[in-house]
Structure 1
Amino acid sequence: MRPGTEAELAEAVRDARGPVVVRGGGTRALGACAGDVLETGGLRGIVLHEPGALTLVAKAGTPVAEVEAALAAEGQRLAFEVPDMRRLLGRAGQSTIGGVVAANASGPRRVQVGAARDFVLGVRFVDGEGRIVKNGGRVMKNVTGYDLAKLLSGSHGTLGVLTEVGLKVLPAPAAAATLVLEGLDDAAAVAAMARALGSPYEVSGAAHWPGRGTYLRLEGLAAQVDHRARALQAMLGGRVEAEGPWADIRDVAPFAGVQGDVWRLSLRATDAPGLVARAGALGCLYDWGGGLVWLLVAPGTDLRARLGDFAGHATLVRGTGAPVFQPEPAPVAALAAGLRARFDPRGLFNAGLMA
């Protein structure tokens, strides 16, 4: 099913007699669900772009590349730095803006500006009864009713099918620089990233690529970036370069095309080196100052069993043999089940994915 309008999509949901697999561009979907595929790619186009108001509204099936091109023409960007998972997951196709919001896909800049959901002003979606629902608006001050826009962000299509999203955008910086620290072990790298992020120098990226380097990014006006880079270098040492490997860090390029399962850990940065040591991983990559760790492990490894309990959660991004998402504590699972029953009472959308 590939409806061309919101009304057609709502009708398709009302007529559904079994599970539905919600798909945007198919470039970042996790896990495998059974059912008829419902593609949103027919809902395409930028509905509104007000550069002066830093606002953009687009239909959910609009390719991210199209959105980014329109913003770049006005000297703007999506601040949360959308990861491109195609190489890592071995996928083709085009990532859609609805899929980005549904996955709450956020790159290295999250440490400074927040996640994708923090920039969602409003959404339109179709619920499990085929009803068209609108929530939010075009300004950050909109506080009417429940914040369903935040709820849908990161729900992976299990609560409703997004048809339109409104986003806050930001100006693109005039300059950038990266401070590179070499020779640090994981614990020293996490400590250095913590110092940088706690400094007044407005670090917009903090990542550690074992065996290659520790990277700290600065963005803004050219004179300011130069001053901040020199000050950060005086504090931590290292060398300054114009560009760092941020696209590769964002897209987890070290594990693309490499055999093994890929896991994503969200955790306290100070816990990360110890957990990585226990994981017995074939490779690792730290982002968000150590609050996000990507691990490459042998195929079929149950990483959750190996790590045991920890303050955070582990997501299986590529591989089989374990649930994709971290099992939820009973109270949270009951709340999540109640939300799914409210928004999708027939259990149509991506059934079992996050249960």
Structure 2
Amino acid sequence: MTPETEDALAQMVVAATGPLRIVGGGTRPVGRSTGAALSLAGMTGITLYEPGALTLVARAGTPLAEIEAALAAENQRLAFEPMDHRVLLGTTGAPTIGGMVAANVSGPRRIAVGACRDFMLGVRFVDGSGQIIKNGGRVMKNVTGYDLVKLMTGSYGTLGVLTEVSLKVMPNVETQVTLVLQGLDDARAVAAMAAAMSSPFEVTGAAHDPAAGRTMLRLEGFAASVDYRAKALAGVLAPFGAVAIEDDATIWAAIRDVAAFADKPGDVWRLSVKPSDAPALVAKAGARGVIYDWAGGLVWLLCDGDLRARLGDFAGHATLVRGTADVPVFQPEPAPIAALAAGLRAKFDPRGIFNPGMMG
């Protein structure tokens, strides 16, 4: 099923007699949903772009590359730096704006500017009863139903089928550099990243690659400002060793897309934790590969089997992004939150037809 209009989509939902598996570009098959494929590939196009207002509205099936090209032409960008899962998962196709929103996809810059969810202004979607719902607006101060906009962002298509999204965009930067420390162990690297993040020098990326022995801090902005801040931040980092300065932007594309694990066999887990807890949890994980992002708040692990069983109880979430381990893909929710989530799904999708099994 590939509807080309919102009304056609609503009619398909009403007529559905079984589960529907909502598909965007098919590039990030995280989760285990079942059912007949319902593709948004026919609902494409930027419906409104106001560079002066930093606002963009697009249909859910619009390829992300089309969005980024339109923004680049006006020297603007999606500030939250969405990950391209094709690198890690070996998938084909084109990521879509709706899929990005449905999964709340964000990259290294999240530590500085926030996640995809924080840039959302409005959504249109079809709920499980076939109703077309519009929520939010094109300006951040329009707070009508604002929580519903955020609720749909990251719901993985379990509450409704997104048809159109509006979001805030940001100006691009003039230049960027990366400060690199060599040879730190995980604990020292997390401490160095914490020192950089607590400085006033506006770090927009903080990552650690233990295999390469590199700890990386990114600065962005006007050239003169970046030059000044790089020298000042090097002083903050001096207790952790000699600091090199590089201007290769591909460093952060590789961190964003977890390129280090792309061609390596095994399960890939995404661990979201308090940065100071990360080194001890990594030591327990027994992983064959580790990448720290978000100053240690996000850890990518290459390891097989049940990671959660090895870690035991911990404050955070472990998601199986790639692999076949016989465990829930998403972190099991505490009973009160699970009951709340079930109540929301019952409200928005009373027949339980949208992406069943996705969050299990």
Range with bigger deviation, 196-205 or 5-14: 5-14
2:262 match: 256
SS in 1 for 2:350: coil
Q: How many correspondences in the alignment?
A: 353
2:210 match: 210
SS in 2 for 1:147: helix
1:289 match: 295
Aligned CA distance change for structure 1 residues 307 and 12 (closer, same or farther; 3 Å): same
1:268 match: 274
In the alignment, structure 1 residue 5 sits paired with structure 2 residue 9: no
2:122 match: 122
After superposition, what is the alpha-carbon deviation per residue over 1:305-324, rounded to whole angstroms, capped at 9, x for unaligned?
Answer: 11001010100000121111
In the alignment, structure 1 residue 241 sits paired with structure 2 residue 242: no
Contact 1:135–1:147 (8 Å) recurs in 2: no
Whichever residue aligns with residue 96 of structure 1, its letter is T
Equivalent residue in structure 2 for 1:322, among 302, 307, 327: 327
Contact 2:56–2:168 (8 Å) recurs in 1: yes
d(CA) in 1 for partners of 2:29, 2:200: 37
1:303 CA displacement:
0.5
In the alignment, structure 1 residue 141 sits paired with structure 2 residue 141: yes
1:109 match: 109
1:211 CA displacement:
2.7
SS in 1 for 2:219: strand
CA RMSD of aligned residues (A): 0.8
1:332 CA displacement:
0.2
Whichever residue aligns with residue 214 of structure 1, its letter is T
2:315 match: 311
Whichever residue aligns with residue 83 of structure 2, its letter is P
1:75 CA displacement:
0.5
Name structure 1 gaps, 5 residues minimum. none
1:348 CA displacement:
0.5
1:29 CA displacement:
2.5
Map residues 1-355 of structure 1 onto 2, 5 A cutoff.
1-145=1-145, 147-212=147-212, 213-237=214-238, 238-244=243-249, 245-298=251-304, 301-320=305-324, 321-355=326-360
Give aligned-pair identity as a percent: 68
Contact 1:285–1:293 (8 Å) recurs in 2: yes
d(CA) in 1 for partners of 2:43, 2:94: 14
Structure 1 stretches (4+) deviating beyond 4 angstroms? Answer: none
Name structure 2 gaps, 5 residues minimum. none
1:146 CA displacement:
5.2
1:142 CA displacement:
0.9
Whichever residue aligns with residue 94 of structure 2, its letter is Q
d(CA) in 1 for partners of 2:28, 2:279: 27
After superposition, what is the alpha-carbon deviation per residue over 1:296-346, rounded to whole angstroms, capped at 9, x for unaligned?
Answer: 003xx0001110010101000001211110000000000000000000000
Contact 1:275–1:307 (8 Å) recurs in 2: yes
Contact 2:98–2:164 (8 Å) recurs in 1: yes
After superposition, what is the alpha-carbon deviation per residue over 1:76-132, rounded to whole angstroms, capped at 9, x for unaligned?
Answer: 000000100112111000000000000000000000000000000000000001110
**TM-score scaled to structure 2, two decimals?**
0.97
Whichever residue aligns with residue 181 of structure 1, its letter is L
d(CA) in 2 for partners of 1:117, 1:335: 20
d(CA) in 2 for partners of 1:145, 1:254: 40
